[in-house]
Every structure is written in structure tokens, then in C-alpha cells.
Structure 1
Amino acid sequence: MNNIFLITKREFLTQVKKKSFIILTLLAPILIIGFGAVIGLMFKANESHNTIEVIDHSGIFQGQLKSNDKLTYLFVPTVTEKAKVDQLKGNETVDGILILPQLSNQNFDHLQKESRLIVNTKIGFETKQRIVSDITNVIKKEKMKKLGIAENQLLSLDKSFELKTINVSEDNKEDNDLTFGVKTGLSMILMYVTFMFIIIYGVRVMRSVLEEKNNRVVEIIISSVKPFELMMGKILGVTLVALTQFTIWIAMSVVGALVLNTGFSSLQDNIPGGNEEMMNKLDMTQVATQISHSLLELNFPLIIFVFIVFFLLGYIFYSSIYAAIGSAVDNETETQQFTLFAILPLMLGMYGSFSLMNNPDGPLGFWLSIIPFTSPVAMIARIPFGVPVWQLVLSIVLLLGTTVFMIFLAGKIYRVGILMYGNKATLKELWKWIRG
């Protein structure tokens, strides 16, 4: 244990003292935020404002088609239709002409058939759908007048039925759409973090082993320690590196969220009409309160416990595989044929877990969260929705037992492979090393 501790300490200090680690740890959150901002600016820069001239032969659309910041309607006299169409090509001030025919005998089918939009440039899908939606709303109002239906009556008819759901297995708690959305969001975040953690830092273990093997440093190290101690020290050392990095990122995220929240509140107060407009559209305070209430209803001690257990066991399980791969090959090119065996089960567990959102207690969710190869991500995806205790215990026992067994197998491969040079490892060779 003392040797494992010393190797873990050495691996940890070696990694965290690298300039690349310090730069990546400090800049990664900033780069992610900056990348998101650039993507947002790209979408913003690609937005267009279209000006559409409207020739309304029916007379029912005048004043009903409302312009906005992305689309402007300009009503022109019907007698200018031919001239406007002839002059459209090359006209840089107008993007299209919307021609709406005469409405005869309330024949809306004929109106739809004869209506047309003539353009001189590419009109985006969103713009076209907005025009269609605006026309549809006007026609809808006209049909309501014909049928003698008031607008408030139609709104009453369109009002959806809200069904309150009470879950007796969760102490009669109300399970509404917002609560389900919060659970789904938390589930996906925890699952994705675990998946990325295992992939990124598992590969780091493999590369560390491969680097020392190629530099022949390992020959000196194993003269003092056992190969198994070296392997476990590397895995635990990289684990501490990852936890350190995540701790710093979480702290930066919390501080950043507090700063941005204060800054956003001050900025919003100084925008003329900003608060009023936002509050008219959406009561953000109420939504935030509901989300906070939904989060507080979750069993966070259990969620945190399960996350840590499956997070660490899953990482050690797959890191032992990556360590074995790193010891069995001579270069990174050869790792490709073996890393697929580690990535595929994780991908199967992650993508299979997306279907758990609709039925967390279904057979697929059960088996994905029980089988050790997929349980590190699948069980974490299920836990916010609630998992029976017996399933949780069974999954932990199976994952723990399989992890110990995998460490044993990886240790046998590591013991032989770490000193093998110029001999391309095959599955047959690996089997011999395991049996030896």
C-alpha cells in the first residue's frame, strides 16, 4: 500500500505541475463559454430581415399581418401588382411579394390554392413559416367570425387539460412536467459527465503507461515495485488529477454564476423596459422558484452517493482496461484496435439511457443499470427518477466484483506487457498472458 501511495503521489504531482494542466484547467471553462458565445453570435450574424410587399385582393389581411424585428409587411395597392412583379428582380429594398387573391363566398380553400409568394432572393425556412403562420391566424379569425365564435370562446376550447399526477410510491408527491424535466436534465448531466470523465481520463492513463513504456522508464520503476502496484498507482493518481480539475471547474462555475447573476440583474435594471417586457412574457422568478422546489424534492444524499460510487468504480473499471491496453502495445496507432472494446459498451450505455427518460423502470433501464459494462452511466441516469434499493445494491455488488476481477485481469496483462517490445499484441497473446 505504501508503494501504491508513493506512485499515486508521483503521478498526481507530475500531472498537475505540467503547464498544459494548469492552462487547460484555468482556460477550459472560459474557452467553453467563449465557444458558446461565438456560436450564439454566428447564429445572430446569420439572421436576416426580410421585407415583403403584400397585395391583398381580399381586404381581410390589411392591418392583420403584423411586422416584427425579422419580417416587415408593406401593403401596396392591388392595381400595382403587375408593375411590382415586373420590377421585383433586381430590387434590393424588397425581398418578395405576397399575393393574396379575392376571397369569394368564404372559400378559403380557393384562397390557399391561389395565394403565392414571389421572391427575388433565398427566403429562409423560418421566415416562410412565419408568413404561413400569420396568414393562418388571420384566416382562423375570419372563420371564427363566420361561425359566430368569440375569440375568448376559442381560447377556452383550446385550453389543455392539466392532469395532476400523485405517486404513491414516493410518499404521495406530485409528479408534474417541470419536476420530470428537472429530473431528466439532472440525469443527462450526470450521465454525460461520467461518460466524458471515463473516456478522457481513461485514455490519459493509457497514454501515461505507453509513454513510460516507450521511454524505458518503467524498467527502472518495476525494479523497486510490483507491476500491479505501478498500475494501481497510476490509476489512482490520474483519478486525483481529474477530481482536482473538476473541483476547480465547479468552484469557477459557482463563482462565475454568482457574478453573472449579479451583473445580469444590474444590466437588466438599466435597460429601458427590459424588466417589464421580460416579465410580461415569462415570470422568470416563478419558474426559478418552481425549479428550485423540484430540485429540493429530490433525494440528493442518495443521488450524490450513487454518483460517487458508480463514478469511481466505473472509472477504475475502465481505467484498468486502458492501462492493460497501454501496456500491451508499443504505439498509439496500435491502441485503436483495442480501445473500441472499451468505448462501445460505454456508448451503448449512454445512448441506451436516452430511452430511459420515458420509462426509467422498464426492462432496458433495468438491464443497462445492472450489467457492469453499462451500469456506470445507466444507473446514474436512472437515479434521479428513483431506483428500488434491491436493484441499487445488486448493481453496486456486481460492478464492484467485476471491477476487482477486471483489475486482476488487467494486472496480469500489465505484468507481462509492460516489458514486451516489438511484439504486436493479439487477442491470442493477451489470453496467454492472462493464463500465465
Structure 2
Amino acid sequence: MNNIYLITKREFLTQVKKKSFVLLTLLAPLMIIGFGAVIGLMFKANESHTKIEVVDNSGLFKGQIKSNEKLNYIFVSASDEKSKIKHLKDNESVDGILVLPSINEQNFDQFQKNTRLIINNKIGFDTKMQIVSDINSVIRKEKIKKLGIAETQLENLDKSFELKTINVSNDDKEDSDLTFGVKAGLSMALMYVTFMFIIIYGVRVMRSVLEEKNNRVVEIIISSVKPFELMMGKILGVTLVALTQFIVWITMSVIGALFLNTGFSSIQKSIPGGDQSMINKLDITQIATQVSHSLLELNFPLIIFVFIVFFLLGYIFYSSIYAAIGSAVDNETETQQFTLFAILPLTLGMYGSFSLMNNPDGPLGFWLSIIPFTSPVAMIARIPYGVPAWQIALSIGLLLITTVFMIFLAGKIYRVGILMYGNKATLKELWKWIRS
């Protein structure tokens, strides 16, 4: 055990003392937020402002279709229609002319056939759909008038029904639509992070083993420690590295959620006289505050506990496989034939977990979160929705037993493979090493 501790300590300190590790750990969340902001700015920068001149021969649409920050309607006289169309190609200040014909005897089908949008350049698909939507909105109102239905009656008919959901399994708390969305987002985020980090750190263990094997450093190390101790030291050392990063990120996330939940709400209350322009500017912060509030209402201690336990067990389970692969081959090219056995179950668990949003307690979600090969990602995907304690306990127990068994098998392969050179490993060879 002392040798395992020393190797674990060396592996851990070697990684965390690197400047790249410190920078990545502290800056990764900020980089992700910044990356999202850059993507948002890119979409914003690519937005176009379209100016459309409208020839309204019916006299119905003026005053009813409104301009916005992306689309500007300019109504012109019907007598100028031919002249406007003729000079459109040379008019760089206008993007198009919308010709709306007269509506004879409420014949809207004929009106649709004769409506034209003449453009002098390409316009975006969303711009065209906005124009269609604006025209359709006015026509809809006219059809309603023809039926003799008042606008207030229609608004009452179109009024959406809001269903209040009370969760008796969660202290009778109300689950709003936002809460469902937050649970789904958190579920997918935790599952994806676990999936990626198990693969990333598992591959790191495999490459570390392979590098020491190729450099023949392992021959010197093996003279002082047992192969199993070396393997476990490497796995546990990298495990602590990953755990350190997660603890830092979880702490930063909780502090950020608390700040959004309290900081922006106090700013909002300080707005004098309900200044509408200021309130509009705070729409994004309002959403962020609501999201953070919904996050803090979840059972975070249980979520964090389950996340850490299943990540650690899942990581040790799959890292044992990766360590065995690294010891059994001589170069990275040969690892490809074996890494598929580690990636496929995780991938199956991840894609299967996408269905959990609609039915987290269904049979697929249950079995994916119980079977050890898929439970590290599936149980983490289910936990924001709430999972019975007995299922969590059963899943942890099965995963723990399977992890111990996998460590035993990996140790048998590692013991023989780490000192084997020039012998291409096959499944038949691996089976002989396990039985030996």
C-alpha cells in the first residue's frame, strides 16, 4: 500500500504542478462562457438589417405590419410601383419591394397568388419568413372579422393554458417549465462532462503506461514495486487530478449561481420608478437569475455526491481497461483495436440517456443506470430528475463490485503485458494472460 501511495502522490503532483493544469482548471469555465459569448456575437454580427418598400394596393396593411430592428417597412404610393421596380437594381438603399395587390371580395387565395416580393439581392430565409408571418397576421385578422369574431374573443380563445405541477416526492414543490428545462440542461451537461472526462483521462493513463513501456523506464520501476501497485498508483493519481478539477469547477459553479440569484435580483429592485428601458436591458439577467434560482432549488448535495461517486468509480473502471490496453501493446496504432471496447459502452449509455428527458424513470433509463458499463453516465443523467435511494445504492454496489473485478483482470494483463515487447497482443493472448 505504501508503494501505491507513493506512486499516486508522484503522479498527482506531477500533473497539478504544471502551469497548464492550473491555468486550465481556473480558466476553463471562463473559457467556455467566453466561447459561448463569442458564438453569440458572431451570430449577432452576421445579422442583417433589411429595408423593404411596401406597395399596399389594398390599403389594408399600412399601420398593421410593424418594423423592427431587423426588418424595416417603408410604405410608398401605389402610383410609384412601376418606377420603384424599374430602378430597384440601382437602388442600394433598399433591399426589396413588397407588392400587395387589392383584395377583391375577400378572395385571399387570389391575393396570395398576386403578392410579390421583388429583391435586388439575396435576403435571409428568416427575413422572408418574418415578412410572410407579418402578412399572414393581418390576413388572419381580416378572416376573423369576416367570421364575426371580436378580437378580444379571439385573444381569449388563443390564451394558452398553464398547468401547475406539484411534485409530492420533492416536498410539494412546484415544477415550472423552467425547472424542467434546467433539469434537462443539467442532466445533459453532467452526462457529457462525465463521458468526455472518463475518455480523456482514461486515454491519459493509457498513454502514460505506453510511454514508460516504450522508454523502458518501467523495467527499472518494476524492480522496486509490483506491476499491480504501479498500475493502481497511476490510475489513482490521475483520478485525484480529475477530482481536483471537478471540486474547483463545482465550487465556481455554486458561487456563480449564488451570485446570479442574489446579485442581479438586488440590482433589479434598485431600478427607479420601473424604468422600462432599464428593465428591458435586464431581461437576460432576469433569465439568468431564474435559472440560478431553479438550480439552487435542486437537491445539490445529492447531485454532487452521486456525480463524484459515479465519476470516480466509472473512471477507475474504464481507466483499468485503458491501463491494460497500454500495457498490452507497443504503440498507439495498436491501441485502436482495443479502445473500441471501452468507448462503445460509454457511447451507448450517453446516447441512450438522451431519451431520459421524456421518461427518466422508464425501463431504458432504469437499466442503463443499473448496468455497470453504462451507469457512470446514465445515472448522472437521471439524478437531476430524482432517483429512488434504493436504485442509487444498487447501482453503486454493482458498479463497485464490477470495478474491483475489472481492476483484478487489468492487473493480470498489466503484470504480463508491461514487460512484453515485439509481441502483437490478440484477444486470445490476453485471455491466456488473465488465466495465468
| Same fold flag (TM > 0.5) | yes
Question: 1-side partners of 2:262 and 2:366: how far apart?
Answer: 43
CA distance in 2, matches of 1:388, 1:67: 53
Aligned residue identity for 2:206: M
Q: Which stretch of the first structure deviates more once superposed, 4-13 or 133-142?
A: 133-142
Deviation at 1:248, TM superposition (A): 3.4
Q: Quick one: structure 1 residues 299 and 252, their matched pair in 2 at CA, closer, same or farther if it must change by over 3 Å? A: closer
Structure 2 CA distance for partners of 1:279 and 1:30, relative to 1, 3 Å? closer
Matches of 2:271 and 2:161 in 1, distance apart? 38
Q: Distance in 2 between matches of 1:302 and 1:272?
A: 41
Whole-Å separation in 2 of the counterparts to 1:233 and 1:90: 74
Hey, what's the Cα distance between the residues in 2 that align with 1:238 and 1:102? 74
Query: Greater CA deviation, 346-355 or 107-116?
Result: 107-116
Match of 1:330 in 2: 330
Tell me the CA shift for residue 253 of structure 1. Answer: 5.2
Deviation, 1:288, is 6.2
* Structure 2 contact 53–75 (Cα < 8 Å) conserved: yes
Identity of aligned residues (%): 83
Counterpart of 2:28 in structure 1 is 28
Correspondence for 1:6? 6
Partner of 2:218: 218
Distance in 2 between residues matched to 1:387 and 1:261, nearest whole Å: 26
After superposition, the Cα gap between the structure-2 partners of 1:275 and 1:142, relative to the gap in structure 1 and judged at 3 Å, is same
Q: How many residues align?
A: 436
Alignment of 1:378-397 (within 5 A): 378-397=378-397
State the superposition RMSD in angstroms: 3.0
* Structure 2 match to 1:39: 39
Check whether the contact 1:268–1:275 (CA below 8 A) recurs between aligned residues.
no
CA drift at 1:142: 2.0
Matched residues in 1 for 2:73 and 2:404: separation?
70
1:127-166 pair list within 5 angstroms: 127-166=127-166
Deviation larger for 28-37 or 327-336: 28-37
Aligned-partner Cα distance in 2 for 1:387–1:267: 37
Q: 1:303 Cα deviation (Å)?
A: 2.4
The answer for the alignment partner of 1:401 in structure 2 is 401
Shift, 1:30, TM fit: 4.0
Q: Does 1:320 align with 2:320?
A: yes
Asked whether 1:86 is paired with 2:86, we answer: yes
Amino acid at match of 1:145: K
Q: Give SS of 2:72's match.
A: strand
Cα distance 1:87–1:263, how it changes in 2: closer, same or farther (>3 A)? Answer: farther
State the partner residue of 1:200: 200
Please give the secondary structure, in 2, of the residue aligned with 1:22.
helix
SS of corresponding position for 2:104: coil
Q: CA–CA distance in 2 between the matches of 1:278 and 1:337?
A: 59
- Whether the 8 Å contact between 1:313 and 1:399 is mirrored in structure 2 is yes
AA of the residue aligned to 1:35: F
CA distance in 2, matches of 1:269, 1:164: 27
Alpha-carbon separation, structure 2, partners of 1:301 and 1:248: 16
Deviations 1:211-265 (A, max 9, x none): 1111111111111111111111101100111122233344555667788999989
Instruction: Please list, as runs of the form range in 1=range in 2, the aligned pairs for 1:420-435 lying within 5 A after superposition.
Output: 420-435=420-435
User: SS of 2:73's equivalent?
Assistant: strand
Relative to 1, partners in 2 of residues 1:272 and 1:62: Cα closer, same or farther, differing over 3 Å? farther
Separation in structure 1 between the aligned mates of residue 29 and residue 180 of structure 2, nearest angstrom: 28
Aligned-partner SS, 2:94: coil
Contact 1:269 1:275 in 2 (8 A): no
Match of 2:105, as an amino acid?
N
Higher mean C-alpha displacement, 229-238 vs 250-259: 250-259
What do residues 50-103 of structure 1 show as CA deviations (whole Å, max 9, x unaligned)? 111111111101122211111111111112222222222243111111111111
The match for 1:377 is: 377
Using the TM superposition, give the Cα deviation of residue 348 of structure 1 relative to its aligned residue in structure 2, in angstroms: 1.0
Q: Which TM-score applies when normalising by structure 2?
A: 0.91
State the match for 2:103 in structure 1: 103
Kept in 1: contact 2:257–2:293 (CA 8 A): no
Inter-partner Cα distance in structure 2 for 1:257 and 1:166: 24
For each residue in 1:30-57, what CA deviation from the matched residue of structure 2 results, as whole angstroms up to 9, or x when unmatched? 4333322322222122111111111111
The CA deviation at 1:391 is 2.3
Q: Give deviations 1:176-226, integer Å, cap 9, x for gaps.
A: 323322222221222122112211111111111111111111111111111
Partner in structure 2 of residue 234 of structure 1: 234
Does 247-256 or 146-155 show the bigger shift? 247-256
Query: Is residue 95–residue 120 contact of structure 1 (8 Å, CA) maintained in 2?
Result: yes
Identify the residue that residue 368 of structure 1 maps to in structure 2: 368
SS in 2 for 1:99: strand
Query: Aligned-pair distance for 1:380?
Result: 1.1
What residue number does 2:417 align with?
A: 417
Distance, in Å, in 1 between the alignment partners of 2:135 and 2:173 is 44
Report if the CA contact (8 A) 2:53-2:94 is conserved: yes
Normalised to the residue count of structure 1, the TM-score between the two structures is 0.91
Residues 112-127 of structure 1 aligned to structure 2 (within 5 Å):
112-127=112-127
Query: Per the alignment, in what secondary structure is the counterpart of residue 89 of structure 1?
Result: helix
- Does the Cα contact within 8 Å between 1:210 and 1:329 map onto a contact in 2? yes
Q: Distance in 2 between matches of 1:231 and 1:140?
A: 71
Residue ranges of structure 1 left out of the alignment (5+ in a row) = none
Give the aligned residue type for 1:151: E
SS in 2 for 1:55: strand
1:231, 1:414 within 8 Å by CA — same for their partners in 2? yes
One-letter code aligned to 1:188: M
Distance 1:144 1:152 in 2: 11
Distance 1:45 1:163, change over 3 A: closer
- CA shift digits 1:101-160 (9 cap, x unpaired): 111111122212211111121111111111111111111222233333332221111112
Change (3 A) 1:262 1:200: same
Q: Which amino acid aligns with 2:340?
A: L
Q: Which runs of 5+ in 2 are unaligned?
A: none
1:25 Cα deviation from its structure 2 partner: 3.0
Change in CA separation of 1:164 and 1:198 when aligned onto 2, cut-off 3 Å: same
The answer to whether the 8 Å contact 1:268/1:274 transfers is no
